[in-house]
Amino acid sequence: MYARRRHVYFGMMSVCIVLFVLAWAVVRLWSVPAAVGMCVAAMLIPPVAAMVANRRGPEDRWWDDPSGDRQSDEWWDELDGKKRPRQ
């Protein structure tokens, strides 16, 4: 899932850059308002791309889920106060 989200993020950011470049290199020659509109559309893409890239999927491991390593899980539980310290 992480690889797919990363690919979508880079795809969205590539579209953003292409919109900016096309707006001011090509489209402005015919219509400045259209170029400004393209830039406004490009301006909205990065926040959406960040939300897509940082979204947690249903199968993603969350920060407090057990990792499967017993010793590591016990250590983290001790640090989080879920268990008493080992003696």
Kindly state whether residues 73 and 33 are assigned to the same domain.
no
Total tally of structural domains belonging to the chain: 2
Kindly state whether residues 7 and 49 are assigned to the same domain.
yes
Residue burial 67-83, b: 16+ Cβ < 10 Å; e: rest:
eeeeeeeeebeeeeeee
Kindly state whether residues 38 and 18 are assigned to the same domain.
yes
Kindly state whether residues 17 and 48 are assigned to the same domain.
yes
Kindly state whether residues 7 and 38 are assigned to the same domain.
yes
Q: What is the pLDDT of residue 37?
A: 96
Q: What pTM was estimated for this model as a whole? A: 0.63
The pLDDT of residue 20 is above 90: yes
The pLDDT of residue 5 is above 80: yes
Q: Which residue has the higher pLDDT, 42 or 2?
A: 42
Kindly state whether residues 73 and 36 are assigned to the same domain.
no
Q: What is residue 26's DSSP assignment?
A: T
Segments forming the whole domain that contains residue 69 = 62-87
Q: What is the pLDDT of residue 68?
A: 77
Least confident of 34-38, 41-45, 74-78: 74-78
Kindly state whether residues 35 and 68 are assigned to the same domain.
no
